[in-house]
Amino acid sequence: MSAQSDVIPLEITRKQAYEAGKLAKRLRHQVGQAIADFNMIEDGDKVMVCLSGGKDSYTMLDILLSLQAKAPVRFELIAVNLDQKQPDFPEHVLPQYLGERGIPFHIIEQDTYSTVTRVIPAGKTMCSLCSRLRRGALYRWAAANGVSKIALGHHRDDILGTFFLNLFYQASLKAMPPKLRSDDGRHVVIRPLAYCKESDIAEYAADRQFPIIPCNLCGSQENLQRKAVSRMLQDWERQFPGRSETMFRALGNVAPSQLADRQLFDFVSLGSREGAQRADVHGWLAGTDGT
């Protein structure tokens, strides 16, 4: 191939730079909007950015750093990675990247991999136990180091996928909230990428040339249910562009009185007449023997 054929036309590079700039601006806007809508970051916060080495967490860190420079409030960012001692994990990649960019970071070293492989029989899914151990290690470090917010890299498609997994397999209407308090009540977890779609994140990560660490180092099995839901959502989006965005907006537009959760809405009192005697519904049903 000649040297001349290797030259990229100037108009192409300009167009690529323009499109990359538009994408970065869109992601910054979406992250900033999510932070504002859910009051994710406040003045004086110390935010622990959980960095796995995948496209999502790299993008989250990069966008938060760009917003930090112009934010109306002062907050601190620290990137934290959990080295789980998986075989062949390239432990130099993250420290080198973060060090070169001058980003404060900490690497937690905890051999959860050996624990998981010892406890889980060969061929069984490791992800659930691995996730609990990883979360515990990150929460302990956060508590010991004055962290006020823990940022995770879940995006819009993760949230939608979790909603349908719970709907199909757990008979519950719940997803991943953009902001939550941990079960022990000690930590506030935020998801700044909640409004961002995965395809935009993948494109941004490619543009920025992040040193991605593959996610198959532990030989982890595919979550077949999540993969199936992901394919369903992708098929819907191809057939009906914009459907994913509509479904995501629906998660923030809930009408409790139009569902059937008696804990969420007081159906029992609705339309009840003062002084009227309530029927013994359970006894009545038992008497009818269901027929």
Contacts with 187 (C-beta within 8 Å, 6 or more apart), sequence order: 139, 142, 143, 147, 150, 181
In sequence order, what are the beta bridge partners of 115?
A: none
* Residues of each annotated binding site: 127, 130, 218
Annotated binding site for [4Fe-4S] cluster: 127, 130, 218
Q: How many Cα atoms sit within 13 Å of 5 on the Cβ side?
A: 2
DSSP bridge pairs for 179: 190
Length of the chain in terms of residues written? 291
For residue 92, give every residue at least 6 positions away whose Cβ sits within 8 Å of its Cβ, in sequence order, or none. none
188-190 vs 179-181, strand pairing mode: antiparallel
Distances in Å between the alpha carbon of 274 and those of 150, 171, 194, 257, 271? 49, 35, 46, 21, 9
